[in-house]
Chains A and B, each alone.
Chain A
Amino acid sequence: MANGQGKSRKTVITGVGTVTGFGVGLGKLWDGLCSGQSCVRPIKRFDASGFPSRLAGEVEDFSAKDFVPKHYRKPVKVMARDIELAVAAAKEAVEDAGLATLGTLPEDSPEPTTYPRDRMGCHIGAGLIAAEADELTAALVKAAPGGTFDLKAWGTGGMENLTPLWMLKYLPNMVACHVTIIHGAAGPSNTITCAEASGLLSIGESMRVIERGDADLCFSGGAESKVNLMGLLRMDFAGRLAPTGQAVSGAEVVRPFDPQSTGGALGEGAGIVIIEAEETARRRNAPLYAEISGVGAAHSPRRTDENAADEGFQYAVLNAMDDAGCTPADIDAVFVQGSGVRAMDMGEAHALRAVFGRELERIPIATLGPAVGNCMAGIGGVQAAVAAKAVREQRLPARLNTGTPLAGLNAGAAPSQPATLRRVLVASSSLGGQNAAMVLSRIA
């Protein structure tokens, strides 16, 4: 079935919603990226002075209540931030696609939804969601007389201080769950938890679900926020973050594909794309961003040499290109995270060299890391959204990079510019070894 010609059902992207440090909506993200800005700045949400890495692409002035239907305001109380970001991005995407869903129509509206419930699926990647520290600790200290926590006291008089639905805030599948309830999407639904690869793996699964006829439309992408104490600690422990030093912007510390890079920056965000079967999308005259011509996934062996090609990333890219039936000469741009994490960037760079050979010098590599930070499970959806917009606009966003990328890589600083983008590759690796890739094509 490999080799795009044989596809029984084509899939297209018809709507895009993002929530990033640039704000809610793809427009703000796109404008920020095209004008060469970074939303990665000193963390405001909490006092990060005790951490070596103190920058983040934070979503500011954001209240999820503004992005849910009136009748759904109460459940916002049981949404972790990751869920809030996804719910807002999904709303943006649905509106962008011009869809009527349970979430866009007034309650009890006689107007029909664009698609029936069971033809809409949902695949939103998520990560390990940290409990809100203040809420949990307020309960924990009830079981810590004299400052020492005691499990016996927790059992008798501690845990009851947590709201009954406490755990439901933090289950990763609650991200997709809220979106399916709000919009009435009762088709296949999944929550992929593969760190930075989650978003693109989810989009790949949505595409397959539509291709095999199990749905006509999917909400797809990912959402995550590590802008909290445990999140920042774990990201640092994993080697994902550069020490901040005196820097005040992501543009200063995140240097994609620079062999001397010292790490990345924290981000938070959600990227949700609406994927539809081309036939049903065309029937309703939907806006068309791009066709998803192929997807691929693969796992990497345990990495021992960060300067060697990431084998799994290479295979994922090859699988996606094979699925799309295209060769290196067909690809006009590559959209990756550009995390600044050396092991990831070098692994990806050498893998791209292996796939594209001499073609690589020609191909601009669009990166997001310096501009929005590492949104983990959210980044793949954001990459897909930006790539879809670029294909639709035939324009590349600006590229921030204060470093020197590996020789032969078209990834240095550059302004936004018009570009002929017939086919673009979008790809993600992860520190755990999961990889996903996708080929988007311009709609003729």
Chain B
Amino acid sequence: MTSSAPRVVITGMGCVTPLGHSVENVWAALLAGKNGVGRISRFDAATFKTNFAAEVKDFRLADFLPDASAHADAGLNAQFALGAAAQAFRQSGLDRAKLNKRRFGLYLGSGEGTLDFPNYVATHVAAWNETERKVDARAWAEKAYATMVPARETEQEANMTLSHVAWEFGCCGPASNCLTACAASTQAIGEAFEILRRGDADVMFAGGAHTMVHPLGVTGFIRLTALSARSDDPTTAARPFDQTRDGFVMGEGAGMLVLETLEHARARGANILAELTGYGSSADAFRITDMHPEGKGPLAAMTEAVRQAGIDPRATDASGRPLVHYIAAHGTGTKENDRIETSAVKQLFGPLAHQIPMSSIKSMMGHLIAAAGVSSLISCIQAIRTGFIPPTINYRTPDATLDLDYVPNTARDLRPKGGVHTCLCNSYGFGGQNDCVIVRAFNG
């Protein structure tokens, strides 16, 4: 991209997470090292090997929209996304009446909807023919048409969260939803950034929403042995970078940004929160289950992102400080992820890696799957605005091979060091998608 490409700034943020439903509340909880994990309440998971998750609590869409009735059929993902988008739009100060709707787009990384589990299961079980070991299709259809709810089914397509947000806010610009597993919302932000840099829109919503806290979602991850199984001790189960880590803890929620070209933001006198300066994306193209052991994919994504941002990863400023001040790690708490991410960061920054604090908010809010990246990026923007960085909690036993500064257990005040100017945010998805974005303080 040439240097004449528009600059892209962030003018609004919103989130719905297990730690709260506003950026202010979530940020306070993150700096306090609070934990959003508990027993699963949404269904009876008592006998599941993993019976806990970080759930969104007490969320009501009506608290966020003047009229939520148009979204009466919306699934949880769409509701979370609408809640986050409403916050972001309000903070941006945008005026619907003055917006060119054709230049107001959106790019989300939102998940598939939640199964209507009771009816789904009852239909399948009722139609089972044990002798033939298969489902009787005719019996299945009869039961399905008698019990399943049309809107509940059609809302599960992975485009519907996007539809609800676009309809509510009148976006008629470029619009996509991507679902690259746990990398989705970071990728969505990156692609929205590209759309703005190309000049195809003035304003974009970018973010994502996801919940997999439902019986088959939890089942799927249990079978993959990706989840922590510390059902005896849920609140300390999420242990990114700790030697005793045994998997991730499922979270849920949404995060949304308003991205805008600098020119558009300036013309309307917007309050600019931060600037996006780099985006890199790669595929491992290795195996469906494992990351490449040398972290080539994550390294390629980070390398491209810092290049675009004009950052030399091996350089320091006049005070000897690395040019990246904080890394929001993907940091899931699986053995493999944390080792490979650490290795990739060290490959990129060399010896300076030890001087860059890197933490995982998943230790507190769990893993928001498709919405994980945007949640991390919001914490980066808050770090830039406040000078504090959030900790990795539940960090008790250092892993001899993981020797970076993971900001153990306590938030850190970086103001004495000159605050936080530039942050790097990583996301990796099952299947090998790797995405990285760079955000920095807006300097005019």
Tell me, yes or no, whether B407 is within 8 Å of chain A by CB: no
Task: Determine which of A1, A46, A186, A201 lies in contact with B282 in the assembled complex, contact meaning CB atoms within 8 Å.
Answer: A186
Who on chain A is nearest to B126 by CB?
A147
How far, in whole Å, are A50 and B144 apart by their CA atoms in the complex? 10
Are A192 and B128 in contact, CB atoms less than 8 angstroms apart? Answer: no
**B residues near A444, Cβ cutoff 8 Å:** none
Residues from chain B with Cβ under 8 Å of A165 in the complex: 223-224, 288-289
Which chain B residue has the least Cβ–Cβ distance from A149?
Answer: B121
Interface core residue of A2, A190, A234 (most chain B CB under 10 Å)? A190
> Is there a chain A Cβ closer than 8 Å to B390's Cβ?
no
- Which DSSP category, helix, strand, loop or mixed, fits chain B's interface? mixed
Interface size on A, residues (CB 8 A): 95
Interface status of A406 (Cβ within 8 A of chain B): no
A177 located at the interface, meaning its Cβ lies under 8 Å from any Cβ of chain B in the complex: yes
**Alpha-carbon separation in the docked complex, A165 to B173 (Å):** 38
Whether B221 pairs with A237 at a CB distance below 8 angstroms is no
- A168 in contact with B288 (CB, 8 Å): yes
A171 and B285 in contact, given A118-B300, A151-B44, A191-B178 (Cβ under 8 angstroms): no
Asked if B126 and A186 make an inter-chain contact with CB atoms under 8 angstroms apart, the answer reads no
- Given contacts A141-B125, A238-B154, A315-B102, A186 and B284 within 8 Å (CB-CB): yes
Q: How far is the CA of A48 from the CA of B136 in the complex (A)?
A: 10
- Beta-carbon contacts under 8 Å, A146-173 to B: 147-149, 151-156, 159-160, 162-168, 171-173
Complex CA distance for A144 and B127, rounded to whole angstroms: 12
In the assembled complex, the Cα of A323 lies from the Cα of B342 at a distance in Å of 42
Contact residues, B63-82 vs A (CB, 8 A): 70
Q: How far is the CA of A209 from the CA of B172 in the complex (A)?
A: 22
* Interface residue ranges of B248-290 to A (CB < 8 Å): 281-289
Bound-state CA distance A180–B431 (Å) is 9
Flag whether B150 is at the interface (Cβ < 8 A): yes
* Pairwise interchain contact B178-A193, C-beta atoms closer than 8 A: yes
B281 touches A147 (CB 8 A): no
Give chain B nearest CB distance to A417 CB in angstroms.
35
B171 near A299: Cβ-Cβ < 8 Å: yes
Known A127-B158, A181-B285, A434-B163; further 9 A-B contacts with Cβ < 8 A: A50-B145, A141-B128, A149-B122, A155-B46, A173-B181, A177-B432, A189-B433, A193-B179, A214-B281
Q: Point out residues on B near A: beta carbons under 8 Å.
A: 1, 43-49, 51, 70, 102, 105-106, 112-113, 121-122, 124-128, 130, 133-142, 144-145, 148, 150-151, 153-154, 156-160, 162-163, 166-167, 170-181, 187, 191, 194, 198-200, 215-216, 219-225, 281-289, 296-297, 300, 304, 429-433
A-B contact pairs, 17 of them (CB 8 A): A1-B200, A48-B137, A49-B137, A127-B158, A131-B216, A133-B135, A138-B133, A141-B125, A151-B43, A162-B223, A177-B432, A180-B283, A186-B297, A229-B141, A233-B145, A432-B163, A434-B177
Binding site for B on A (CB under 8 A): 1-2, 46-51, 75, 78, 117-118, 121-122, 126-128, 131, 133-134, 136-138, 140-141, 144, 147-149, 151-156, 159-160, 162-168, 171-174, 176-178, 180-181, 183-195, 197-198, 201, 205, 208, 212, 214, 229-230, 233-234, 237-238, 296-302, 311-312, 315, 319, 430, 432-435
Can you list the 4 inter-chain pairs with the closest CB atoms, starting with the nearest?
A: A50-B141, A167-B220, A155-B47, A177-B431
